[in-house]
Amino acid sequence: MWPSGTLRKACCNNGFFHHSITISGCPVACDGAAHLKENAHVVDLNLFLRMDDKTVLVTGGASGIGYAVAQFLSAVGAAVALVDLDEERGKIKTAAIRSRGGRARFYPCDVSDAIRVEETVNAVVRDFQRIDGLVNCAGVIMRADVLGLEEKDWDRTIDVALKGVFLVSKYVIGQMKAAGGGKIVNIGSGWSLKGGQKAFSYCAAKAGVLNMTRAMAIDHGKDNIAINCVCPGDIDTPLLEIQSRQLGIDTDEFYGSQNDVRPLKGPGRPEDVAHAVFFYLSDLSRWITGSSLVVDGGGLA
């Protein structure tokens, strides 16, 4: 089970309500008796920040945001199952995490293929015994207007974003329910919340991911499964470069324009999104479900 995350009452001889946070014990010198002071507490961050006993499955884990999520989770002790299309890249990224002491395995899988998804989830459970967290991060983008988009590209965008989240969640939720609970984070977009130029298929898919998150959260709260959505703005990953190509804009020019379109200079970094994902996977968000967190340098402000 996910740790309860209760505050550990302890510490501090200064007589004031103690708001400091420490990783292990009191951050200031204090004598033993004073530790019992009623109105003082220290939060044991290990309860919230370590995931040593957790296994998290990350789709799209071999690139960009998904890989940053896998790296961060591994750094806080979680075992990570990277699920992605490209076997060669997946193995390289997994080996990189392992070389830093992490527990990681790669599973080649198209998240829109029901049979492969079921096999993959079963393989992850076989290898790690459990799945405590799921990050639905795999995604594709096709920048075109209605007249310019091919039907197959519409199908692909919707299949990866919507069917992929449905299928992976379907098999993982079955496992989580049997194990007593878990956490799911779906990766939406700023375009879950507003429209964008030449992005209508992606906007449709990502708006769907956000509302799907809310509906799934309603259904599975009773199973002790919290389901939330992180909505990134433009993040420096291969997906951003793909967009500049699809729009026929010089990549340097595209990146250069990112500085002026939001309050905080951009684009964002993959780890900016990973930190928000971690918040939702950790017990810091114990009583949060069906919500979304925008990570966009203020672009939607």
Residues that bind ligand NAP (CB under 6 A): 59-60, 62-66, 84-86, 110-112, 137-140, 160, 164, 187, 189, 232, 234-235, 237-240
Single out the residue of 206, 203, 184 nearest to residue 291, CA to CA.
184
Q: Give the span between the Cα atoms of 105 and 178, in whole angstroms.
A: 23
Strand-pair partners of 165: none
- DSSP label at residue 9: E
Catalytic residue of the set 67, 107, 202, 280: 202
Q: Please report how close the Cβ of residue 143 comes to ligand NAP at its closest, in angstroms.
A: 12
Work out the angle at residue 127's Cα, subtended by the Cα atoms of residues 122 and 132, and round it to the nearest 5 degrees.
75
Q: What is the dihedral of CA 14, 18, 19, 25, to 10 degrees?
A: 90
Q: Choose between 184 and 187: whose C-beta lies nearer to ligand NAP.
A: 187
Q: Please report how close the Cβ of residue 10 comes to ligand NAP at its closest, in angstroms.
A: 40
Q: Please report how close the Cβ of residue 37 comes to ligand NAP at its closest, in angstroms.
A: 47
Q: Choose between 55 and 157: whose C-beta lies nearer to ligand NAP.
A: 157
Q: What is the dihedral of CA 233, 239, 241, 245, to 10 degrees?
A: -110
Q: Choose between 60 and 102: whose C-beta lies nearer to ligand NAP.
A: 60
Q: Choose between 227 and 235: whose C-beta lies nearer to ligand NAP.
A: 235
Task: Copy the structure tokens of residue 258.
Answer: 């990112």
Q: Active site includes 280?
A: no
Strands of the sheet containing 225-232, edge to edge, are: 103-108, 79-84, 55-59, 133-136, 182-187, 225-232, 292-295
Q: Choose between 138 and 227: whose C-beta lies nearer to ligand NAP.
A: 138
Q: Please report how close the Cβ of residue 188 comes to ligand NAP at its closest, in angstroms.
A: 7
Task: Copy the structure tokens of residue 110.
Answer: 């198209």
Q: Please report how close the Cβ of residue 71 comes to ligand NAP at its closest, in angstroms.
A: 12
Task: Report CA-CA distances (Å) from 9 to 13, 193, 207, 237, 296.
Answer: 13, 41, 42, 43, 36
Specify the DSSP element, H or E, that contains 116. helix 114-128
